[in-house]
Amino acid sequence: MVSAAKYARAERDLKSARSFGEGTQQFYSTNELGKIDENNPTKVGTLVIALTSDRGLCGAVHSSVAKKVRSLMTDEENEKNLKIITIGDKAKAMLSKQFPNNLLMMFNDFGKRPPTFADAMVVANGILQSGYEFEQGIILYNRFKSVVSYETTHSPIFSMEAISKSPKLEIYDSLDADTLKSYQEYSLASLLFYAMKENACSEQSARMTAMDNASKNAGEMIGKLTLTFNRTRQAVITRELIEIISGAAAL
The reported pLDDT for the residue numbered 240 is 93
Mean pLDDT of 169-196: 82
Q: How confident is the model at residue 196 (pLDDT cuts 50, 70, 90)?
A: very high
Q: How confident is the model at residue 43 (pLDDT cuts 50, 70, 90)?
A: very low
Q: How confident is the model at residue 37 (pLDDT cuts 50, 70, 90)?
A: very low
Q: How confident is the model at residue 246 (pLDDT cuts 50, 70, 90)?
A: very high
Give the whole-angstrom CA distance, residue 238 versus residue 236: 5
Question: Is 83 within 8 Å of 138 (Cβ atoms)?
Answer: no
The total number of residues written for the chain in this structure:
251
- In the three-class reduction of DSSP (H, G, I as helix; E, B as strand; rest coil), residue 140 is classed as strand
Give the whole-angstrom CA distance, residue 73 versus residue 237: 64
Q: Please name the residues in contact with 131: beta carbons below 8 A apart, sequence gap of 6 or more.
A: none
Residue 39 vs residues 63, 80, 85, 104: alpha-carbon distances, Å:
19, 20, 21, 24
C-alpha neighbours within 13 Å on the C-beta side of residue 171: 7
The reported pLDDT for the residue numbered 223 is 94
What's the DSSP call for residue 39?
S
Least confident of 2-11, 36-45, 159-168: 36-45
Residue 191 vs residues 73, 119, 188, 209, 226: alpha-carbon distances, Å:
23, 12, 5, 27, 52
Question: Is 69 within 8 Å of 78 (Cβ atoms)?
Answer: no
The reported pLDDT for the residue numbered 34 is 55
Q: What is the pLDDT of residues 228-239, one digit of tens each?
A: 999 999 999 999
The reported pLDDT for the residue numbered 33 is 66
Q: What is the pLDDT of residues 80-100, one digit of tens each?
A: 778 899 999 999 999 988 898
